[in-house]
Amino acid sequence: MKKIILPDNSILELNDESTALDAAKKISLSLANNMICAIVNDEYFDKDEILPDNAKLTIITKKDEKALPVLRHSAAHLLAEAVKHLYPDAQFGYGPSTEEGFFYDIRFSSPISETTDLPRIEEEMKKIIKENQKIERIHVSKEEAKEIFKDQKYKLIHIDELSDDGKKLTIYRQGDFADLCLGPHMASTGDIKAVKLMSLSACYFKGDKNNDTMTRIYGTAFFSEKDLQDYLQILEERKERDHKKIGRDMQLFMISDYGPGFPFWLPNGMILRHELEEFWWNLMMETGYDVVKTPEILSRELWETSGHWREYKKNMYITKIDGKPFAIKPMNCPGAILCYQNSLHSYRDLPLRFAELGLVHRHEASGALNGLFRVRCFTQDDAHIFIAYDQIEEEVRRLLKIFDNVYKIFGLDYHIELSTRPLDKYVGKISTWNKAEKELKTCLEENNIPYQINEGDGAFYGPKLDFKFRDSLNRVWQCGTIQLDMQLPHRFGLTYVDKDGNKKEPVMLHRAIFGSIERFVGIITENFKGSFPTWLAPEQVRILPVATNDESQLKYSEKLCAELKELGIRVKVDSRNENLSYRIHDSQQMKVSYTLVIGKKEYEEDLVTYRIHGEKRTKMISREQFVKLILADIKEKHLTRSYED
C-alpha cells in the first residue's frame, strides 16, 4: 500500500499500482468523471500515470485554472494533426501551450497565408473535434521513436538530444497523428470545445537564428464557446488600448527604421516621462536615497569581474576605445559598486542607498521588439542598497511598503513571486544562494505577505522578489523587483568596518519600482487607455471659446490660460476657425483631462463650463472653483476625475 497526501493534508491509502484516476475514484466518482489530470508534487500527471508513494496530490477539473494549459496543449496537437492532413510534407518542431493559448512551429514546403490557409486549418481542426478521436499515451524506446518519426527531421533531432538512460519515451497518439510529449492531455479531441487560430509569424527552430526558419501558428482554446467569445472581445478591447496606437495618436513616442528598438520621445511623451521622473526624484529624497549617475560605457574587465560578460555578452553592444574592448552597460549595478568603492565605509554608513535613472542597452531579436514593452535601450529606476547582513529583513520590509504605496498611486494590483536560483546560469556557492533565498522567504512570511515560488528564475547573482501586475485586460506584467545579492559584493571585494573594527562584506540589494520607464509608460498607457490621471496627463486643460471671432470670449480664454499656466497647469487655447463640436471631439481624441467651453455667459459672469474626458455631461462653475478643483486633483494624484457637486 502507498500513502497519498491530499490538499487538506488528509491521507489516502492506495494499492501500489494505483493511478491518479484511481485516487480520484476513491475520493468521489463525480470528481473522477470530471477529472482532466492531476498535480503530483507540483508537477502535471496524466490520469493513467502511476502515483509515487507519499505524493502530494491535487485532482484538476476544468473548473481549475491549471486545466487550461492541458486543454491548450491538446489543441496544439490538434492543430498539428490538421496541418498533417492538409500539408502531408510539413515538418513539425515544437507545440507548447502559452499563457493565453498555444502555438506550433512548422516548416512548410511553401509559404502559407493567414487569410486563406488558417481558415482551412481551423475548419479541419473542428472536423477532428467532431470525430472525437481518443488521445492515447504510449511508451516507446528511442529506436521505436525514431522509426515512428523517420520522416520528421526535427523530431529526430529532439530524440537524439534525449539522454540514453534506457528509459522509455512518451508519445501521445490521436487518429493518424503522434507526437513526442510528456503530457498530460485531454482524453479525446472531442473534449476540445472551442478553438480559434489567431495569427502567423516567422521563427527559427529552437529559437536559434543559425537554424532553419519555420512558421509559427498561434491559436487559443477554451472549454466553452462563450469563454472563447469573451476572450475575443477582450482582444478587441486591447486593440483600442494598444499603447503603440495611443502613443502615435497622442504623439507620445515614435520608433524609426533608423533605430529599431530605440524609442524617440516626442514632446507629449516627454511631459509624461518628466512627471514620472520628478515623482521618482521626490520619492528618493523622501525615503533616504542618494542619487548617482554612472557612465554608459565601461571596460570589459569590469563586466568580467561582475559576471555579466559571461552571462550577457551575446546581448551586449561592444566597442573598442584606445584599442581595448568596452561595452555599453546592460545593467547599472557595477557602476553603483564603483561608487561604493570610491570611499571607505563603516557600519554607521549602512544602509547606503544609491539610486539611479540609468540608461541601459540590451540587444533583442528584431522579431521580439514591441513598442515600449520590448526595446533595445531603456531607463531603469534602479537602486543599489548596501547593508549589513542583520539589516536585510528591516530593509526589505521597508521596500515592500514603498512598493505598495507607489503601486496604489497608479491603481495597480500586484502579486509577489520569489524567483530562486537558476538551474545552471548562476555565480557563487549554492550554500550562499540557499541562505539568501531563506532570508527573502523569512521577510515575506514574518510580515504575512503572500507570495508564489518561481523556480529557477532568479538573477544570475541572486534570488529576487518580482512584482507582477494584472492590468485591466487581465494580462500579467512584471515591473518591480527586489534582488538579494551576496555574490557581487564578494566578487568586487567590497567591505565596511564593523563595530568591532573588523572588515566585513556588505550585502547588496538591487531594486527597481517601475522596472523601466519605457515599459511602465506602455503599461499605464494601456491601463488608463491614454486617459492618464490629471497629474500625469500631457495636456491637462484645453480652453475652447465658443465663437472664435468674439473678442471678449478670446480675451477671457487667454486670461484664464495665463492664470492656469502661472499655477503650473499644462493648458492650451484652441481658437482655430473650426466649429465647436469638431474642437471638442479633437480634445477628447487627445485625452485632455478637462475641456473648458467659454461662451457669452462664462466671460460675463466669470464662469467656466467644463467637461471631463470620456464624459458627455458638462458642468458650469465659477473660475475660482475650477482652479481649486484641478489643483486638488493634481496635488492629491487622483486616479479618476469627477464633477464637483
Task: Respond yes or no: is residue 443 known to be catalytic.
Answer: no
Distances (CA, A) of 355 to 289, 336, 511: 6, 8, 9
Place of cell 507620445: 252
User: What is the percent of the chain where pLDDT is above 70?
Assistant: 99
- Are 387 and 351 in contact by the 8 Å Cβ rule? The answer is yes
Check whether 645 has a pLDDT greater than 70.
no
Task: Respond yes or no: is residue 570 known to be catalytic.
Answer: no
| 573 alpha-carbon distance from chain centroid | 39
Q: What is the pLDDT of residue 229?
A: 95
DSSP 425: S
d(CA 519, CA 300): 28
Residue 37 burial (CB count, 10 A): 26
**Residue 630 confidence class, pLDDT cut points 50, 70, 90:** very high
Task: Respond yes or no: is residue 382 known to be catalytic.
Answer: yes
d(CA 412, CA 380): 19
Place of cell 492629491: 636
Which candidate, 628, 589, 590, places its Cα nearest to that of 608?
628
Per-residue pLDDT tens digits for 19-67: 999 999 989 899 999 999 999 988 899 988 889 988 899 999 988 889 9
d(CA 602, CA 192): 63
Q: Does domain 541-635 have CATH number 3.40.50.800?
A: yes
Per-residue pLDDT tens digits for 85-109: 999 999 999 999 998 999 999 999 9
Per-residue pLDDT tens digits for 536-577: 999 999 999 999 899 999 999 999 999 999 999 999 999 999
To the nearest 10°, the Cα dihedral for 575, 266, 514, 568?
A: -40
The DSSP line for 279-291 is HHHHHHHHTT-EE
Q: What is the pLDDT of residue 469?
A: 85
d(CA 554, CA 536): 27
d(CA 60, CA 40): 10
Residue 587 burial (CB count, 10 A): 24
**Residue 450 confidence class, pLDDT cut points 50, 70, 90:** confident
For strand 55-61 and strand 177-180, is the pairing parallel, antiparallel, or unpaired?
Answer: unpaired
Q: What is the pLDDT of residue 597?
A: 96
**Cell numbers placing 628:** 481649486
Every domain of the chain and the residues it spans = 2-61, 68-239, 275-294+331-527, 541-635
Task: Respond yes or no: is residue 384 known to be catalytic.
Answer: yes
Q: What is the pLDDT of residue 477?
A: 83
User: What is the percent of the chain where pLDDT is above 90?
Assistant: 71
- E-assigned strand segments in 175-245: 177-180, 194-204, 213-222
Check whether 578 has a pLDDT greater than 90.
yes
Catalytic residue among 362, 421, 591, 641: 362
DSSP 198: E
Which candidate, 334, 308, 372, 324, places its Cα nearest to that of 514?
372
Per-residue pLDDT tens digits for 124-156: 999 999 999 999 999 999 999 999 999 999 999
Per-residue pLDDT tens digits for 498-541: 999 999 999 999 999 999 999 999 999 999 999 999 999 999 99
Angle between helices 551-566 and 623-635 (to 10 degrees): 30
d(CA 205, CA 155): 11
Q: Does domain 275-294+331-527 have CATH number 3.30.930.10?
A: yes
Place of cell 458627455: 616
pTM score > 0.75 for this model? yes
Q: What is the pLDDT of residue 237?
A: 87
- Are 420 and 456 in contact by the 8 Å Cβ rule? The answer is yes
The CATH number of 68-239 is: 3.30.980.10
Which candidate, 211, 179, 175, 219, places its Cα nearest to that of 195?
219
Q: What is the pLDDT of residue 234?
A: 87
Catalytic residue among 22, 382, 466, 574: 382
- pLDDT averaged over the chain? 92
**Residue 178 confidence class, pLDDT cut points 50, 70, 90:** very high
**Residue 479 confidence class, pLDDT cut points 50, 70, 90:** confident
Task: Respond yes or no: is residue 559 known to be catalytic.
Answer: no
Backbone angles phi, psi at 505, to 5 degrees: -85, 135
d(CA 555, CA 570): 19
One-letter amino acid for residue 170 of the chain: T
Task: Respond yes or no: is residue 380 known to be catalytic.
Answer: yes
Catalytic residue among 329, 353, 510, 641: 510
d(CA 344, CA 469): 40
Catalytic residue among 464, 542, 570, 583: 464
Residue 454 burial (CB count, 10 A): 18
Task: Respond yes or no: is residue 274 known to be catalytic.
Answer: no
Tell me what the mean pLDDT of segment 284-305 comes to.
96
Catalytic residue among 384, 542, 611, 623: 384
**Residue 164 confidence class, pLDDT cut points 50, 70, 90:** confident
Per-residue pLDDT tens digits for 393-447: 899 889 999 999 999 999 988 888 888 887 776 777 787 778 778 878 888 887 7
Instruction: Say which CATH topology domain 2-61 has.
Output: Ubiquitin-like (UB roll) (3.10.20)
d(CA 244, CA 255): 10
Which candidate, 458, 336, 463, 442, places its Cα nearest to that of 392?
442
**Cell numbers placing 263:** 524609442
d(CA 186, CA 168): 21
Catalytic residue among 181, 333, 443, 561: 333
- Are 416 and 450 in contact by the 8 Å Cβ rule? The answer is yes
Catalytic residue among 91, 152, 380, 487: 380
d(CA 640, CA 15): 60
Reduce the DSSP state of residue 226 to 3 states and report it: helix
